[in-house]
Structure 1
Amino acid sequence: MPTEASKQPAAPARERHDSTVNVRMSTTTRNLIDTAASLLGKTRSEFITESARNHAVDILLDQRLFVLDEKDFAEFEAALDRPPPPNDELRALLKKKPLWER
């Protein structure tokens, strides 16, 4: 059964690592990260990068909040229940890679 973490989009497989980030942390935190990373067969850098990236994607996706009054929400729900018929533009959109996978 997939876990929440496994549902997250993966980083591009051949992404170039051309940037360095230095982070200061306690030895206890570093050891905790190292233990978790080793359980997953990852290096510390791989674990930290993947974890931070997944968290960043979650934060950005959570910013997609909008507020509607009852009437507008009912119209919104009705529109969701009436999806457009497939067309070339929709097919092209569904084939595009999401921003977080680019």
Structure 2
Amino acid sequence: MSTDTSRNAVINLRLHAQARELIDRAAAALGKSRTEFMVEAARREAESVLLDRCYFTLDEKAFAAFAAALDRPPADNPRLRRLLRTPAPWD
């Protein structure tokens, strides 16, 4: 990502008034402009989509070690077990 702070790209959107009002309310709740809110939300989603499609390659030995690690049962984790037994605050 460039460190240049100037904005020189424009995106025009058409949406229902209700969607715009919802976005405006959420942006105001965070003390942001509509543009800031929408750009941050769109960037987060774009990064999430692209990170979910990450591709990597391993040589045969590394792949065997990776597959073995995935096949091993999880290590005992008492703190996680306790967390999963704790009722949610809204229950």
Shorter-chain TM band: 0.5 to 0.7
Gaps of 5+ in 2: 70-91
Gaps of 5+ in 1: 1-10, 80-102
1:22-81: CA deviations, max 9, x gaps?
A: 000000000000000000000000100110011101111000156xxxx975422679xx
Identity across aligned pairs (percent)? 43
For residues 23 and 45 of structure 1, the distance between their equivalents in structure 2, rounded to whole angstroms, comes to 11
Q: TM-score, normalised by structure 1?
A: 0.53
Q: CA deviation at 1:15?
A: 2.6
Q: For CA contacts below 8 A with separation 6 or more, give which structure has more relative contact order.
A: 1
SS at structure 1 position matched to 2:5: coil
Q: Which piece of structure 1 moves more, 26-35 or 12-21? A: 12-21
User: Which is greater in Rg?
Assistant: 2
Q: TM-score, normalised by structure 2?
A: 0.59
For residues 14 and 38 of structure 1, the distance between their equivalents in structure 2, rounded to whole angstroms, comes to 26
SS at structure 1 position matched to 2:14: coil
SS at structure 1 position matched to 2:42: helix
How many residues are paired up?
Answer: 67
For residues 18 and 63 of structure 2, the distance between their equivalents in structure 1, rounded to whole angstroms, comes to 48
